[in-house]
Amino acid sequence: MRLLCAAITTLPALVAQGASLDSKQIAQAIERAQRNQQEALCSYAVHRTYRLHNKHLHPDAQMDVDVTYTRGQPKQFHITSFKAKGIAGRSLKDLLKNEAEADGIDNAKSATAPQNYYLTLFGAESCGDLNCYKLGLRPRKKSKYLVAGTAWVSQKAFMFVRIEGTMSKSPSFWLSRPRIEQQFSNIHGFWLPTFNRSITKVLFVGKAELTIEYSSYSITACELRPHTQQK
């Protein structure tokens, strides 16, 4: 936790004083906050539940996955339950494959890496009980990993709280470009994803809604012993 606190104090004086920032300064602050979190977060484990809903699917397609991350290494995915057939099943497995391909030590392809976007500052807006900057996201290139849309960033932590928009390129042969909403929460001092919803069209199936719920985070800070949050 001390590393994260230190990260805040090392932001530029302009930020610390709460002065008005432009989109370039906000992007720099986000990059710095993300870099400090990456340095402070040694590892985590989380359980994900994927559900694909479509009027033709009875019941919904579902995949449960245990994900583990260790700093400096790609994420590891272990499917613990899989209840999906045909194209729905292939679509779910494609999502994991795409994430594994995008995952890297420097997160260069990440949808939350500000260097991948042209950012436009729309102003300030409340995010629940947080004060946020509202930013327009325009990818610098078409990619199945990047979002064209809007992001809300905590004015205090300079971390993403919510992202809404459309993937700039289809993530899978079976899926159209999804309309997505992703939410992040502060879990023991680390900002991590907690919910994802996307609306898309699946080939031969039609309109479908995919949700990803994150639960049972277990986090190891580089200077602390592991602790677990149950959702």
Looking at the predicted structure, is the pLDDT value of residue 92 above 70? Answer: yes
In a domain, 16, yes or no: no
Q: What is the mean pLDDT of residues 166-185?
A: 77
In angstroms, rounded to a whole number, what is the distance separating the alpha carbons of residues 140 and 118? 6
Helix (H, G, I), strand (E, B) or coil at 26: helix
Which residues partner with 154 through β-bridges? Answer: 132
Amino acid symbol at 35: R
Q: Is the pLDDT of residue 119 over 70?
A: yes
Task: Please report whether residue 178 resides in a domain.
Answer: yes
Q: What is the reported pLDDT for 173?
A: 53
In a domain, 150, yes or no: yes
Write the CB contacts of 17 (distance below 8 Å, at least 6 apart in sequence): none
For strands 41-53 and 206-221, give the pairing. Answer: antiparallel
In a domain, 187, yes or no: yes
Total number of domains in the chain: 1
What SS3 state is found at 209?
strand
Question: Could you tell me which residue, 208 or 221, shows the higher pLDDT?
Answer: 221
Q: What is the mean pLDDT of the chain?
A: 83
Q: Residue 99: its pLDDT value, please?
A: 80
The Cα–Cα gap between 162 and 70 comes to 24
With CA atoms as reference, report the closest residue to 131 among 158, 106, 104.
158
Q: How far apart are CA 67 and CA 46, in angstroms?
A: 5
Is 89 within a domain? yes
pLDDT in tens, 21-62: 999 999 999 999 999 999 999 999 999 999 988 887 778 889
Query: What tokens does 169 get?
Result: 């390129």
pTM over 0.75: yes
CA 28, 32, 34, 38 dihedral sign is positive
Q: Are strands 190-202 and 130-139 parallel, antiparallel or unpaired?
A: unpaired
CATH number at residue 188: 2.50.20
Cross-strand pairs, 199: 179, 209
Least confident of 8-12, 158-162, 214-218: 8-12
Whether the pLDDT of residue 211 is over 70: the answer is yes
- Which pLDDT score is estimated for 3? 41
For 129, the token pair is: 């009980």
Band of pLDDT at residue 8, cut at 50, 70 and 90: very low
Which domain, by its residues, includes 191?
2-11+21-228
Which two tokens mark 107? Answer: 């997160």
Helices (H) and strands (E) in the chain, counts: 4, 11
- CB distance 67 to 95 below 8 Å: no
Looking at the domain assignment, is residue 66 inside a domain? yes
Q: Given the DSSP bridges, would you call strands 160-167 and 206-221 parallel, antiparallel or unpaired? A: unpaired
> What is the gyration radius of the CA atoms in the chain, in angstroms?
18
* Residue 110 scores a pLDDT above 70: yes
